[in-house]
Amino acid sequence: MSLLLEGKRAFVSGGTRGIGAAICEVFAREGADVAFNYHSRDDLAEEVKKKIEAHGRKALGYKVSVTDRFGMKHIAREIKDAWGSINVLVNNAAVNKPDNFATTTDKSWDWVVDTNVGSLFAVTKPFYKQMIRERIGSILNITSVGAIRSLPTSVHYATSKAAMIGFTKCLSREAANFGITVNAIAAGIFDTDLGNTLPERLLKMHDFWVSKGRSGQPAELAEYAAFMCSDRNSFMNGEIVIVDGGAVT
């Protein structure tokens, strides 16, 4: 049987840490050339590129903010010139700042919402237009169970992730006209820098509350993401799939 993403060209936002880095590696193992952007760590970017290339695939890394609309347009054009049009896009990059709503500052609210919601437009649009021209593509958005359930997470983070669900559902209907699917994974708590910002008390409660009895590993989500973006997942569109280790609802 062929690899899940054989011959695909993927772009992953926030590709140097946690879930994003795992997605880059698993996608490469499954046959995709992978480009990604990152915010600051050149050393991590080089590590991810080496892991992609170790699977015999091509890699490109860009130090550009996900909110930089001009920068993202430039990246999309540069990748197309080098490889051809991107046909798999993963909107993974996100930020959070643990806080109570009553003490959330204007600056904190704007940072989280502008990054997590604004990036959906800045990152998706240039690659979406390529997909429209090719009449094929798969977009996967990494949202959070915090957008669906009443959990002790920051209000601005949950708000931004709920916006991603609306983005997924609405865009999926428009995109279907061009042979493009748009789906999302609502992630539970994973062993990442972002997940580990939660209070230790909450993490211990989580391990009891979730039937798996632990946090998820980034590679576990990446494995499912590869299937969701593959041609074998041919009839799913506009869906939000929960991957959270079996949380009690």
In the block, which residue shows the tokens 């958005």? 141
Enumerate residues 6+ apart whose C-beta is below 8 A from 212: 245, 246
What three-state secondary structure class fits 34? strand
Enumerate residues 6+ apart whose C-beta is below 8 A from 29: 3, 55
* Cα–Cα distances in angstroms (integers) from residue 224 to residues 186, 187, 227, 233, in the given order: 12, 11, 5, 11
The tokens of 38 are what? Answer: 């990152």
Q: What's the number of CA atoms in the CB half-sphere (13 Å) around residue 215? A: 18
Break the chain down into helix, strand, coil percent, rounded to 5: 50, 15, 35
38, 62, 157, 224: the catalytic one is 157
Query: Does 38 participate in catalysis according to the annotation?
Result: no
Instruction: Give the residue numbers marked as catalytic.
Output: 157
